[in-house]
Amino acid sequence: MKNKDLFTFKEGLTQAKVLPGVKFAYAVAKNSKLVGGEIETLQETIKPTEEYSDFEKERDEIVKKYAVKDKNGGAKQESKEVNGQHFTFYNIEKDKIDISNKELKELNEKFKEAVDARDIQLKEYAELMEVECNIEVHKIVLDLIPEDITGGTIELIDWMIEE
């Protein structure tokens, strides 16, 4: 199992927590705790630095300043779904695109080191997701899997099923 698989495994374990069977529940709980700890560790590696957080805050302020406004005068948020992922963004007023791009370029130059470091961090994180994880999954035999489990849940927790 690769590190990236831990997230779907954890989702399956969460779904499986409501199913009956003491031995099954024990295996789910044990794996959930184990996987949860590993995911926490992975998420720690992707936290942005304070300097990059400052960059994001200033970038957000610039974007909101030039964004199309809603009826209350605030920056109007748009949303879009692409490939099953939901994105929220601001549209910049057409006559403000050049000035916003100029300010964003200056901001990127001001925080160049932090932005470059973040790019490297994200690249390394993506590589880390492809590494085989070193956890010892608590296995359970197929006969102990509850009959009312869905196929979708089985697919997510198949890492713990011994046939």
**What pLDDT does residue 88 have?**
87
Question: What mean pLDDT, rounded, does the chain reach?
Answer: 93
pLDDT value of position 87 = 86
pLDDT for 10 equals: 95
**Model confidence over 16-29: pLDDT tens digits?**
999 999 999 999 99
Q: How far is CA 28 from CA 40, 57, 70, in A?
A: 18, 40, 47
The predicted pLDDT at position 7 comes to 95
* Dihedrals phi, psi of 158, to nearest 5 degrees: -60, -15
* Contacts of residue 150, Cβ cutoff 8 Å, sequence gap at least 6: 15
Q: According to the model, what pLDDT value does residue 78 have?
A: 87
Looking at residue 84, its pLDDT comes to 79
Encode pLDDT of 41-60 as tens digits: 999 999 999 999 999 999 99
Distance, in Å, from the CA atom of 42 to the CA atom of 3, rounded to the nearest integer, reads 8
pLDDT of 43 reads 95
**Of 100, 102, 76, 99, nearest in space to 89 by CA:** 76
Asked whether the whole model's pTM tops 0.85, one would answer no
- Which stretches of the chain drop beneath a pLDDT of 50? none
> What are the structural domain ranges in the chain?
5-162
Q: Yes or no: say if 4 and 38 are a contact pair by the CB < 8 Å rule.
A: no
